[in-house]
Amino acid sequence: MGDITVCPYCGTGCQMILEIGESSQRVVGYSRSPVNSGKLCIKGYSGLTYNFSSERLKYPLMKENGEFRQISWEQALEISVSKLGDISRKYGPDSIAFQSSAKCTNEENYLMQKLARMVGTNNIDHCARSCHSPTAIGLINTIGAGAATGSIASLEDTETFFVIGTNTTEQHPIIGAKIIKEVKKGKNLVVADPRRIQLAGLASVFLQFRPGSDVALLNSIMNVIVENGWEDADFINSRTEGFSSLKKTVSKYSPKVMEGITGIEPEKVYRAAEMIGNAKPTAILYAMGITQHIHGTENVMNVSNLALLTGNVGKRGSGIFPLRGQNNVQGSSDMGALSEFYPGYVRYDSGKLNNFSRIWGKEAPTQKGLSLSEMFEAAAEGKVKAIYIMGENPLITEASTQTVERGIDNLEFLLVQDIFMTMTAGHADIVLPAASSLEKEGTFTNTERRIQLIKRIYSPPGEARPDWWIIKEIGRRLVGMDDYSSPEDIFSEIGRAIYNYSGATYSNIYPIGKQWPINTDNPDGTEILHSKSFPIGRGKFIPVEYGPPAEQTDDEYDFIMTTGRNYFHFHSGTMSRRTDILERESPEPYAEINTNDSRRLNIKERQIITVESRHGSIKIRAKVTSKIPEGIVFIPFHFSEARVNELVGENYDPISKIPEFKVVAVKVIP
Amino acid sequence: MNYILTDEDMKILFSRIKEEYDTYGTVEKEGDIVYEKVDGFESITFGRSRYAPKEFLIERNENVLNLPVQQKKAVFGVMSCDLKGFYVMDKQILGKDPFYTQRRQNTLFVNFPCNVECEGGFCSSFGGPLLDEFQIQVARDGDDFIVSASKEYEHLFDGFRKTGDEQIRKLRKNFLKNAKQLPVEGIENRIKWDSKLWKKYSSVCISCGACNYSCPTCYCFDLFDQDDGRIREWDSCILSGFTSTSAGNVRKELDERLRQRFYHKFVYYRKSQGEYLCTGCNRCTEDCPVDIDIKEVVTHDYSSE
């Protein structure tokens, strides 16, 4: 027997039919899905066997004299609650930090932030900080909602795709495939990326620009559009404000002047601008290439500027598409598992927290909370004494993993719940075994705001329990949280906390999901946002000036390193590295280096080299390729054997606090 | 032998089969037709199943150090193109792969031939859905079921009305009359090693493996050790780790691997086993996220390249 559920990997949220029987197990895409129309990528087909790994955590564990030993759930919960309670009483609620997870359901993220806030702190954050926090903040500033403005299906109406900072066919393969299908029909494709990604080979114009020069590139595109009068004057007049200041700013960024910064010939910028401005509707898709910079929020706002300038918001085929990495990073952000946002993006200092205080029966805290990286810094300084981590592995995924490690080792109490003994869980005092997303019920919200129901297909191993149950048990004992009976029970409370979710029920979102806002004004959900107006009234142009990335090359550190994912693995590899086919395809860490650079440095394919930044050094095999330009190395961050995040410095976007994973000055030693 | 059965007769046939076998069949789930355990003929949905029932014989992953006793299973509603895949596959692995062989011998597939060629499908190019090799084949002619049984299943048909070959011949003729047959014959001689098709495909292929996983004739697997077991798992020849040697994959580039897939289907298997490793089901094309169409490999004009 089987059911329709959602793939546990990326934010596309492909719907799949999963079946398990005594002698049959099937994975196939759900053909009626508006998200993936029955298609899946290799991670969907062959990436699910981690569920059955013998390494799954099966029992609660407690560390004693450096060794873990099995304890009962009752013991684990009692010890955790008494530790957290003691620390909160002794040092105050802000001495505890909570880390939620974009891999968990909306219900679980909602509960995690509710737990933090009922404890009395806004120290609640999660990995969205490291991927799309600039999107949430940037797009809320400019257009009033930090989410994709259109739907995946609406890309069928797109005439020009502008793909910047997303390796779509590898990271969101089914959306990448959608673009390919449209381009095969003759649609325009403009690709901007420092690496020669697969889509670059199909592009009408490929802008292989220097890492960190996004603002300069986007401003030069807008410069050409304004110079040639290709802007959408009607849209600008009727729907936006601040155009004159944008015009003034971009006037300084002629492609000719910018070539020195971006490395792109003016002619190419001109052609790209012409397509984006004239061959409409244009959809702009972006991911970590835009956000993971100290200018991440400015980059996002500049993407928004371009969309507003060309009137490419609010119509089918147009729009801004921040592609979400984790399956539920849209949802976990919607749920308010972010230090500055309560559910539904209500700011902690907005004075509008009454609804939450009322629903939760407890005063919502109004002091500023710590962001993800700040939590570890505060722990290293001794200000944070306990961290409760659900389903995240910051010892691999965070920038400056040395600081993370110092922070974690300085804690009085570390509580981790996960499906595997991750590197981070190995440092915990108590480890709680969780059910995977194929072993529980709940909802995920995908990259196009589609709230989708997930179903329990398999039974969790041993005594592993769903995350919602674990948080609820801790919350009930620690702060008197409600004794929820099911995820559906929690979901109905979410509907009361977030107006944009208020019309969704488990029965009306199954099987194909519905896109928020879904409420009394939009009972069937909303495919295209901002079609008549923006939540903030008029869309705002917020002009952005170019500033260099935090790190520059010099004579010693003469390469720029950029980090990211590859097609076969996912984040810290907790899941993908435990599936045979995926691990076989990509079994070890590697550094991509340009053919000419390798020749100059006398580096052979698969030779072990040292890559050293101003912050750390790793040994890693070289992968020689012409896909990456000279002077740049690319290293995926999945591998604990060579943690590339040891090389990434503590350089943060001052607005969103996202670390600059994409530009690190390094030297390469053969 | 052929029989004419009514709807009521089919229920009786089903219950006779159910006495000997665990019964499975095609049922609708939210618009997609899937295979599930079924208890009666009335639960079965006629129509194109979402996938080939390959897992009944080759599991997605299983421990090969332990050969379990196989339950006898009957599977109703199998599409002829999918069933034909097993007959084609038999030539290579029946009698060699003990898992496949045991399950093959213990599974009764009841195929339901289509009356009209489906959109995209090209089974007519391989003879159409009224097969010569089958176990129990259930064709439909108006309200009648024209059921053909191979010898070992005749005992299930006691008391049913016998008929000749005429209706089957008529159904076959009608099907082929309205179908578009592709010039498959001789493709092994026309296809070209350095055709530009392969690079055209590799420029868009996202290496998802769907073409292999959906294919009713693909049987390749990977082997790896895990704990106390040795697991085999469905594999895809599109992936670079497939049949990797100490020197890596001998087909380093994606275009070479895509070519290998089509050459295996249309050249090597034909030359070694006398048949094409394709039944015209169109599932690879249907599940391909970037619309690589296997029919193009057949119809492409290689002589002009």
Per-residue pLDDT at A399: 83
User: So what's the ipTM on this one?
Assistant: 0.96
What is the average per-residue pLDDT within B53-76?
93
How far apart CA A113 and CA A147 sit, in angstroms, is 20
Q: How far apart are CA A375 and CA B267, in angstroms?
A: 61
How far is the alpha carbon of B149 from chain A, nearest alpha carbon, in Å? 26
The encoded tokens of residue A606 equal 């698969």
Smallest Cβ distance to B34: which of A17, A54, A567? A17
Q: How far is B240 from chain A (nearest CA, A)?
A: 7
B226 touches chain A (CB under 8 A): yes
CB A408 within 8 A of CB A376: yes
- Containing B231, the helix (H) or strand (E) segment is strand B229-234
Residue B180: per-residue pLDDT: 87
DSSP string, A415-483: EEEESB--TTGGG-SEEEEB--TTSS-EEEE-TTSEEEEE---SPPSTT-B-HHHHHHHHHHHHH----
β-partners of residue A449 are none
Among chain B residues, CA nearest to A586:
B241
| A176–B204 C-beta distance less than 8 A | no
Distance to chain B for A405, nearest Cα, Å: 31
B5 membership: H or E segment, kind and range: strand B2-5
Q: Show residues of chain A in contact with B34, CB under 8 Å.
A: 2, 17, 19, 26
* CATH class, range A559-669: mainly beta
What does the pLDDT read at residue A24? 57
Question: What is A274-298 written as a DSSP string?
Answer: HHHHHS-SEEEEE-HHHHSSTTHHH
Per-residue pLDDT reduced to its tens digit, B102-118: 999 999 999 999 999 99
Mutation site for A-interface testing, chosen from B206, B223, B253, B285 by largest number of A Cβ within 10 Å: B206
Whether chain A has a CB inside 8 Å of the CB on B225: the answer is no
Tens digits of per-residue pLDDT, B238-297? 999 999 888 888 999 999 999 999 999 999 999 999 999 999 999 999 999 999 999 999
By the 8 A CB rule, do A368 and A395 touch?
no
Contact B208 A45 (CB under 8 A): yes
Which of B290, B293, B296 would best serve as a mutation to test chain A binding (most A beta carbons within 10 A)? B290
Which residue in B has a C-alpha nearest to residue A201's C-alpha?
Answer: B203
pLDDT along chain A (670 residues), means of 10: 90 94 78 97 95 95 97 98 98 98 97 98 95 94 96 98 97 98 98 97 97 97 98 98 98 97 98 97 97 96 98 97 95 97 97 97 97 95 98 89 93 98 97 97 98 95 98 98 98 98 97 97 97 96 97 96 94 91 95 97 97 96 96 95 93 94 96
CA gap B156, B135 in Å, rounded: 12
Cβ–Cβ gap B209/A46 under 8 Å: yes
Confidence (pLDDT) at B130: 97
Q: How many CB atoms lie within 10 A of CB B180?
A: 10
- Identify from A20, A457, A585 which residue to disrupt to test chain B contact, counting B C-beta atoms within 10 A and taking the largest count: A585
Round to whole Å and give the CA distance between A444 and A452.
5
Least Cα distance to A232 among A544, A539, A542, A529 occurs for A539
Return the pLDDT at A565.
Answer: 93
Contact A2 B288 (CB under 8 A): no
What's the Rg (C-alpha) of chain B? 20
B59 — contact with chain A (CB < 8 Å)? yes
Kindly state whether B190 is in contact with chain A, defined as any CB-CB distance less than 8 angstroms. Answer: no
What is the distance in angstroms between the Cα of B181 and the nearest Cα belonging to chain A? 26
pLDDT single digits (tens) B154-196: 999 999 999 999 999 999 999 999 998 999 999 999 999 999 9
A2 alpha-carbon distance from chain centroid? 29
Q: What is the mean pLDDT of residues B221-237?
A: 92
Contacts of B55 in chain A (CB under 8 A): 24-26
pLDDT given for residue B247 in this prediction: 84
Q: Which fold has domain A2-52?
A: N-terminal domain of TfIIb (2.20.25)
Q: Which helix (H) or strand (E) segment is B73 a member of? A: strand B73-78
Of residues A21, A42, A580, nearest to B231 (C-beta): A580
- Which residues belong to CATH 2.40.40.20 in chain A? 559-669
**B67 interfaces chain A, CB cutoff of 8 Å:** no
A&B contacts, CB < 8 Å: 127
Q: Measured between beta carbons, which residues in chain B are less than 8 angstroms from residue A177?
A: 206, 289-290
Kindly tell me the sign of the dihedral angle through the C-alpha atoms of A506, A509, A513, A516: negative
User: What is the nearest CA distance from A584 to chain B, expressed in angstroms?
Assistant: 6
Residue A168: list chain B partners with CB under 8 A. none
Contact B30 A511 (CB under 8 A): yes
Contact B76, B14 (CB under 8 A): yes
With cut-offs at 50, 70 and 90, classify the pLDDT of residue B218.
very high
Q: How far is A98 from chain B (nearest CA, A)?
A: 35
Fold assignment, A133-322: Dimethylsulfoxide Reductase; domain 2 (3.40.228)
CA distance A357 to chain B (A): 40
Strands of the sheet containing B61-63, edge to edge, are B61-63, B229-234, B221-226
Q: Say if B203 is an interface residue toward chain A (CB within 8 Å).
A: yes
Chain B residues closer than 8 Å to A566 by CB: none
Q: Are B270 and B276 in contact (CB under 8 A)?
A: yes
Nearest to A24 among B50, B59, B214 (CB): B59
CB–CB of B233 and A49 under 8 A?
Answer: yes
* Distance (Å) from the alpha carbon of A106 to chain B's nearest alpha carbon: 24
Q: Counting Cβ atoms within 10 Å, is residue B182 exposed (0-12), middle (13-18) or buried (19+)?
A: middle
Percent of chain B clearing pLDDT 70 (strictly above): 100
Q: Which residues of B touch A49 (CB under 8 A)?
A: 61, 233
CB contact under 8 A, B290 and A177: yes
Rounded CA separation A161/A139 (Å): 19
Is the CB of residue A453 less than 8 Å from the CB of residue A509?
Answer: yes
As annotated, the residues of chain A forming the CATH 2.20.25.90 domain(s) are 2-52
Q: Which two tokens stand for residue A561?
A: 């390193």
B188 in contact with chain A, both atoms CB, cutoff 8 A: no
Q: Which of A1, A19, A41 sits opposite B208 (nearest CB)?
A: A41
**A11 near A426, Cβ under 8 Å?**
no
- Record: contact B287-A29, CB cut-off 8 A: yes
pLDDT confidence of residue B227: 83
Helix H or strand E segment including A299: helix A296-309
pLDDT the model gives residue B148: 97
Q: Which residues of A touch B203 (CB under 8 A)?
A: 198, 201-202
> Are B288 and A26 within 8 A, CB to CB?
no
Which chain B residue is nearest to residue A175, measuring alpha carbons? Answer: B289
Q: Work out the minimum CA distance from A543 to partner chain B, whole angstroms.
A: 37
**Residue B201 touches chain A, beta carbons under 8 Å:** no
Q: Is A595 helix (H, G, I), strand (E, B) or coil?
A: helix
Residues of chain B in contact with residue A23, where contact means CB-CB under 8 angstroms, are 56, 59, 68, 70-71
Look at B210 and A45 and tell me if their CB atoms are within 8 Å.
yes
Query: Which class is A61-131+327-511 in CATH?
Result: alpha beta
**Which of chain A's residues have a Cβ under 8 Å away from the Cβ of B60?**
25-27
267-286 in B: which are within 8 Å (CB) of A? 286
The DSSP 8-state label assigned to residue A545 in this structure reads -
What Cα–Cα distance (Å) separates residue A307 from each residue in A34, A199, A464, A593, B228? 25, 21, 46, 34, 56
Query: What pLDDT, on the 0 to 100 scale, is given for residue A21?
Result: 65
Interface test with B, best of A7, A20, A25, A31 (most B CBs within 10 A): A31
Are B239 and A42 an interchain contact pair (Cβ–Cβ within 8 Å)?
Answer: yes
Cα–Cα distance for residue pair B305/B300, rounded to 1 Å = 10
Question: Which residue of A38, A176, A585 is in closest CB contact with B240?
Answer: A585
Task: Count Cβ atoms below 10 Å from residue A347 Cβ, excluding itself.
Answer: 12
Cα end-to-end span (Å), chain A? 55
Does B251 lie at the interface with A, CB-CB under 8 angstroms?
A: no
